[in-house]
Amino acid sequence: MKNSHRRVVVTSPFFDDGAVAYLKEHGCEVEVVQWHKGQGDGGLATPQLVDLLQGASGWIVGQAYVTRELLAALPALQVLARRGVGYERVDVSAVKDLGRVLTIGAGGNDASVADHTIGLILAVARRLRESQNRMLSGNWSILISSDLSEKTVGIIGLGRIGKSLVQRLKGFETRILVCHPRPDREYGEANGITYVDMETLLRQSDYVSVHAPLTPETRFLIDKAALALMKPTSVLINTARGGLVNDSDLLHALKSGRIAGAGLDVYVSESDPGFKPVSDELIALPNVVATPHSAGSSAEALARTNMVAARTVVSVFDGGDLPAACVIADGRRSVSVR
């Protein structure tokens, strides 16, 4: 017998059988939307989403834009669970005002994104893309590359992923600089990191890795002026959010030799199609190693974050406690959690 009060619609791709089974074991009716290659909920208009979600009490959401209009049209919807950690496409105020709950998959992909960040640093520094392309064309001559060992790495933003990156960098005996609005001095002393201002970090770092949240204040945090402060031998890494870096300015800096290279997993064009030509030029450069926003999409990370999403949905249905790190807004309470 169907339980209309526990109907969960999953529009996030790569939702695995284990997470589906967990939901069903806890009395949920589960509908997993199957997408064709290249499709997803991010391309759906509000009326299409309303049709998909009508009557659902839980939604495990991918990249859809969640507006006040959409939420108002879905009175049965209690909880929206983002498998990832970003929520810039969700109207958080509307979630709270309309008495809904918004959660994220905090902690599920920290290790995977940190691993990916190290991979991008090494791939750019050791010129892996350039070397393989030359070999494919029959040129086996050696390209001189750079080490990560004993270099200075600047981390902008020290949340869960930034801290996971710190642990990995220790093995390379790096000097770690951090720019963070609320320095944790105890953590810094215990892990051998130095807190500095943004200008110092940009001027002194051999590798700059961005791990800040995307907000109106941090949009284009790395722009022409910031890139001008970096060493001409330095490398920029962005596995956080497209929009933290002005990709047009980055393209110019790379083409002009202002900086040596970049490792990119996220792009402004993901939310602004007007930047698509810029993204195309960036990923074509020989000194850029690019991936398609896949840093958190290892099999292990997807399984962990799928289960986090499933557990938060069930907890809301049961009226249970939610992990504080996962809650962005809880409209059942008088104030937003964040």
Q: Has 270 been annotated as catalytic? A: yes
Annotated active-site residue 304? The verdict is no
> In whole angstroms, what is the distance from residue 205 CA to residue 125 CA?
14
Query: Hey, which bits of the chain come out as E strands?
Result: 7-10, 29-32, 58-61, 79-82, 101-103, 152-156, 175-179, 193-195, 207-210, 235-238, 261-264, 288-290, 327-330
Q: Is 293 a catalytic residue?
A: yes
The answer to whether 50 and 42 are in contact (CB under 8 A) is: no
Decide: helix, strand or coil at residue 290. strand
Which is the catalytic residue, given 88, 130, 270, 281?
Answer: 270
Amino acid identity for residue 32 in this structure: V
What stretches in the chain show pLDDT beneath 70?
1-4, 334-338
Q: Which residues contact 135 (CB under 8 A, 6 or more apart)?
A: none
pLDDT digits (tens, 9 = 90+) for 38-65: 788 998 999 999 999 999 999 999 999 9
Question: What pLDDT, on a 0 to 100 scale, did the predictor assign at position 4?
Answer: 53
- Of 100, 180, 241, 311, the active-site residue reads 241
- CATH for 110-290 is 3.40.50.720
Residues 239-258: tens digit of each pLDDT:
999 999 999 999 999 999 99
Residues 6+ apart with CB under 8 A from 171: none
C-alpha to C-alpha distances, 16 to 20, 48, 107, 112, nearest whole angstrom: 7, 24, 18, 17
Q: Can you give the pTM of this predicted structure?
A: 0.90
CATH 3.40.50.720 domain locations along the chain: 4-108+298-330, 110-290
Q: pLDDT (tens digit, 9 = 90+) per residue, 12-28?
A: 999 999 999 999 999 99
Superfamily of domain 4-108+298-330: NAD(P)-binding Rossmann-like Domain (3.40.50.720)
pLDDT of residue 84: 86
pLDDT the model gives residue 338: 40
Catalytic residue from among 26, 168, 252, 293: 293
φ/ψ (deg, to 5) at 156: -100, 105
Query: Nearest to residue 91, comparing CAs of 72, 65, 57?
Result: 65
